[in-house]
Amino acid sequence: MSKYEKRAEVVATLSPEEFYVTQESGTERPGTGKLLNNKEPGIYVDIVSGEPLFASADKYESGCGWPSFTKPIEPAHVAEIEDRTLGMVRTEVRSTHGDSHLGHVFPDGPQDRGGLRYCINSASLRFIHRDDMEAEGYGDYVNQVEDAA
């Protein structure tokens, strides 16, 4: 059994926007997310389950209005699902254990870094600074974190 799971007591503490995004597959307004311009070194985890999702080393400025990453830090923690809403076909990304809606992945990322753009809502993430990772139980990921670009 994974140590990461969706817990009702955590869901009950989410802000209205965090609940809308993670539990109702909503989207925050572009350019408004608290983590959009974060350039600190660390990791981004699911706000509901705590599972590690993305590293600052893989974050980049895409200009889309949401935090963008080239790849997950732990691919098994990011599920990709076909999304046919809004009259288009996209690939939704959800956290595997928390089942939180995170955003979508698109094939228009930096080609030299794999070509993918994980376009993620800040409201679905909690940032853990590199200096706090060991204390918060994420020490195994410290070597995957470097200063963000």
In the chain the domains, ranked by start, together with CATH numbers, are 8-143 (2.170.150.20)
Q: Is residue 6 within 8 Å of residue 98, measured between CB atoms? A: yes
Q: Which of 48, 53, 119, 133 is catalytic?
A: 119
Q: Rounded to whole angstroms, how far apart are CA atoms 30 and 102?
A: 14
Q: Rounded to whole angstroms, how far apart are CA atoms 62 and 147?
A: 17
CA 44 to chain centre: 6
pLDDT in tens, 92-124: 999 999 999 999 999 999 999 999 999 999 999
Residue 119 annotated in active site: yes
pLDDT in tens, 6-46: 989 999 999 999 999 999 999 999 999 999 999 999 999 99
Per the listing, tokens 């060991």 go with: 134
pTM: 0.93
